[in-house]
Amino acid sequence: MHDTEHDQDDRTDPDPLGGSASEDSPRTDEPPRRGLSRRGLLGLFGAGAGGIALGAGGALATTAFTAGGSSSSDTYDFHGEHQSGIVTPAQDRLHFAAYTMTSSATRTDLIELLQDWSFAANRLMQGLEVSETGAFGAPLMPPDDTGEAVGLPASSLTLTFGFGPSLFQDAEGNDRFGIASRKPADLEDLPGFRGDLIDEAISGGDLCIQACADDPQVAVHAIRNLTRIAFGRAQIRWSQLGFGRTSSTSQSQDTPRNLFGFKDGTANLKSEDTAAVNEHVWVSGSDQSWINGGSYLVARKIRMTLETWDRASLNEQETITGRDKKEGAPLSGGTEFTDPDFASTGSDGSPLIPHDSHVYLANPEQNSGARMLRRGYNYVDGTTELGQLDAGLFFICFQSTPQTFINVQNRLAQNDAMNEYIRHISSAVFAVPPGVTTSDGYIGQGLFS
Q: What is the pLDDT of residues 274-295, one digit of tens each?
A: 999 999 999 999 999 999 999 9
Banded model confidence at residue 146, pLDDT cuts 50, 70, 90: very high
| pLDDT of 50 higher than 50 | no
pLDDT band at 41 (very low <50, low <70, confident <90, very high): low
**Can you give the pTM of this predicted structure?**
0.85
The partner residues of 239 in beta bridges, in order of sequence, read 97
- Does pLDDT of 306 surpass 80? yes
402-406 mean pLDDT:
98
Cα(103)–Cα(232) distance, integer angstroms: 10
What percent of the chain has pLDDT above 90?
83
Mean per-residue pLDDT over the chain, rounded: 87
Alpha helices in 208-267 (DSSP H): 216-229
3-class state of residue 289 by DSSP: helix
Band (pLDDT 50/70/90 cuts) for residue 74 is: confident
With vertex at residue 213, the alpha carbon angle to CA 392 and CA 255, rounded to the nearest 5 degrees, is 55
Q: What is the mean pLDDT of residues 185-191?
A: 98
Q: Identify whether the C-beta of residue 232 lies closer than 8 Å to the C-beta of residue 39.
A: yes
Q: Of 241, 229, 45, 221, give the one whose Cα is nearest residue 149.
A: 221
Average confidence (pLDDT) over 430-440: 97
Q: What is the pLDDT of residues 252-261, one digit of tens each?
A: 999 999 999 9
Catalogue the long-range contacts made by 189-195 (C-beta closer than 8 Å, 24 or more residues apart): 189/165, 189/429, 190/298, 190/402, 190/405, 190/406, 190/427, 190/428, 190/429, 191/406, 193/409, 193/410, 193/413, 193/424, 194/413, 194/414, 195/413, 195/419, 195/423, 195/424
